[in-house]
Structure 1
């Protein structure tokens, strides 16, 4: 996916995030979760791929989020499943920081 086809939405300020703390937002109707790790901000879908558990309510440790419902774990940097029962990776979104503003990119509607 070419970045110039991605629509970016302002979602938060850098000061809204605390290191290692999950920050749930909505981007154009999509549930998304932000987290800041070592001054890099990551964005990923806020629904577990197992049965849509709210990842923002789960435990976060290192670079992994654990779904509060059945314990599936995902790497928030890549979206990769680290532990089942989920078998499908979570979607990760491109993030841009301009000044103090955080923008999250969504793919075009036709994908």
Structure 2
């Protein structure tokens, strides 16, 4: 339940992107107030206001980081953007640490007319790091689709890609072993690379089905899609496909999914993908 809230499922919107605007704005305001204190003369309360803006920024950043950590743990381990996500997280933690240090340096100097140079330079560094982190966050969303539409998914997304091949198993049989059947619950998915073909295996009403991983519209990851009455919904643009047949049931996709035969053998899931 708590994880669902942190992923934004009750709000029908990811929570982390909603929260990050607050610390970014508050840190930026604090920085502008610092500049104002250096650029003006007389007592205007800029230093004190900057301190409180920064303190509130740290509090909201910690809240955003909790939701961000939950999102981070949902990223597939072999996803190309996982390294970006790790860098994004570490930089943000560094930013919070710098601002916490900054608050400690400023606490006894809130009555000053101008901000001291050491805390100001720390703010400059933190703003630069925050900008880099923001760039990485945007790249993950706009280039790699990280987190897009996942709040509509009620079950966990795959944590890795299972690889299986005819060469690995030394067989000419087109049916390849994938995983034990009891590892997959209703409306869960496995992401599988079988003989070089990336596909999804899911369980619906006790039966197993397999279809291509990438949506034919804009190549969204269907293994992360939501389930709706026997259909899989692409997390990116919400095209829907019949899980059993691969047929398009709702656009914008125009082309159906390629499906693959699935068998159960001795409690294990097998999928048929001819070797290329």
Question: Which TM-score band (shorter chain)?
Answer: 0.7 to 0.9
Query: In 2, Cα distance between the equivalents of 1:60 and 1:24?
Result: 15
By how many angstroms is 1:107 displaced?
3.8
In the alignment, structure 2 segments of 5+ residues that lack a partner are 1-171
The aligned counterpart of 1:58 is: 225
The aligned counterpart of 2:253 is: 86
1:15 aligns with 2:182: yes
Query: In 2, Cα distance between the equivalents of 1:107 and 1:51?
Result: 25
SS at match of 1:15: helix
C-alpha contact 2:195 2:274 (8 A) present in aligned 1? no
SS at match of 2:214: coil
1:40 aligns with 2:225: no
Larger strand share, 1 or 2: 1
Query: In 1, Cα distance between the equivalents of 2:238 and 2:174?
Result: 32
TM-score, normalised relative to structure 2:
0.36
Query: In 2, Cα distance between the equivalents of 1:18 and 1:61?
Result: 16
SS at match of 2:257: coil
RMSD: 1.6
Which one has the largest radius of gyration?
2
Q: Closer, same or farther in 2 for the Cα pair 1:49/1:13, shift >3 Å?
A: same
In the alignment, structure 1 segments of 5+ residues that lack a partner are none
By how many angstroms is 1:6 displaced?
6.8
The aligned counterpart of 1:76 is: 243
Query: In 1, Cα distance between the equivalents of 2:179 and 2:195?
Result: 13
TM-score, normalised relative to structure 1:
0.87
What is the count of residue pairs matched by the alignment? Answer: 105
Query: In 1, Cα distance between the equivalents of 2:182 and 2:221?
Result: 23
By how many angstroms is 1:23 displaced?
2.0
- Higher RCO, Cα 8 Å, sep 6+: 1
Range moving further from structure 2, 20-29 or 5-14: 5-14
Query: In 2, Cα distance between the equivalents of 1:23 and 1:47?
Result: 13
Larger helix share, 1 or 2: 2
1:95 aligns with 2:267: no
C-alpha contact 1:6 1:108 (8 A) present in aligned 2? no
By how many angstroms is 1:79 displaced?
0.2
C-alpha contact 1:14 1:102 (8 A) present in aligned 2? yes
Listed one character per residue, the Cα deviations across residues 2-60 of structure 1 (whole Å, up to 9, x for unaligned) are: xxx97111111101100121222221221111111122100010110111110011111
